[in-house]
Amino acid sequence: MVSFSDIQRALAEIGIEKTDTVIVHSSLKSFGRVDGGADTVIDAFADYLSEGNLVFPTLRSRDFFNAYEDWDINTTPSDVGLISETFRLRPDTLRSDQETHSVCALGKDAAYITAGHKEGRERIGLFGNTPFSYSSPWQKMYDMRGKIVMLGVPLVYNTFKHFAEYKLMNDILDTLSPDVWKQARAELTDFDMHRSVTPKDREYFSKKMVWPLHDGEKAQARLEELGMVRATLCGECRIITVETYPFVEWMYDQLLFYPEEWAEERTTEWINDYGAALRETRKK
């Protein structure tokens, strides 16, 4: 039986500090049994991060194609686990207002982290243009040098991998002249989620994308080889952590300089065709 103190001991073992901003992807079942269930996990984190911030993704994955049609910040559930949904329902947490990639937060900077998710400059991307905007919680946690904690789930489910994708593709677009930008933008997958989705749309979305979706399992293996991942066991749960900023920077450069190792052919061609100026800047 995993206890409150067991969880806090595990956090210390992976180097979490009480002042950290931590985003948690989680599986309650991975622990085996937890005394008090999801609430104990949340309480242990919240108490440990007494001078920091606790964040959970409250993402939309079920009926994803209609996310922009029926979003309600107060009632749309989190589709990424019981711990996340339990956290969302707590009266003292705050949620960001975005249809597909919202987060809930608790702590000294919770209002800042969750505010204005869609109000800043947009980033064009696969899931719509607001999930990873310049004012999004993902941008803020990256800037705050937060930490990613995976409770019993691999980095395949690390949402910051999509932040890295959005950041890269938009940074490439920002290097282009207006005429070339228009051409590159037209080639990039543009999925309008503000309308009804047809079977043809679903096929396009799944098979004909120009977007650097990549292998999270491969990324985790490489990160572990590089010593960028810390891990421990808590009950039956393998807990791992990686820092947001180093992870994003590493993944970004992998996709920019070695797209053929990570992306499909059409996406690799796009990055190679339009990413030359950005590659020169990053080399410096």
pLDDT tens digits along 132-181: 999 999 999 999 999 999 999 999 999 999 999 999 999 999 999 999 99
Instruction: Please name the residues in contact with 4: beta carbons below 8 A apart, sequence gap of 6 or more.
Output: 35, 36, 40, 43, 44, 47
All structural domains of the chain with their residue ranges = 4-283
Q: Please provide residue 181's backbone torsions phi and psi, each rounded to the nearest 5 degrees.
A: -55, -45
Owner of token pair 């070695």: 258
pLDDT band at 262 (very low <50, low <70, confident <90, very high): very high
Q: How confident is the model at residue 27, as a pLDDT? A: 96
Beta strands per DSSP E along the chain: 21-26, 53-57, 94-95, 103-107, 147-151, 230-234, 237-243
Condensed to tens digits (0 to 9), the pLDDT of residues 168-219 reads: 999 999 999 999 999 999 888 765 555 555 555 555 555 567 999 999 999 9
Q: Which amino acid is at 45?
A: F
Q: How confident is the model at residue 231, as a pLDDT? A: 98
Condensed to tens digits (0 to 9), the pLDDT of residues 60-116 reads: 988 777 788 889 999 999 999 999 999 999 999 999 999 999 999 999 999 999 999
Q: What is the mean pLDDT of residues 223-248?
A: 98
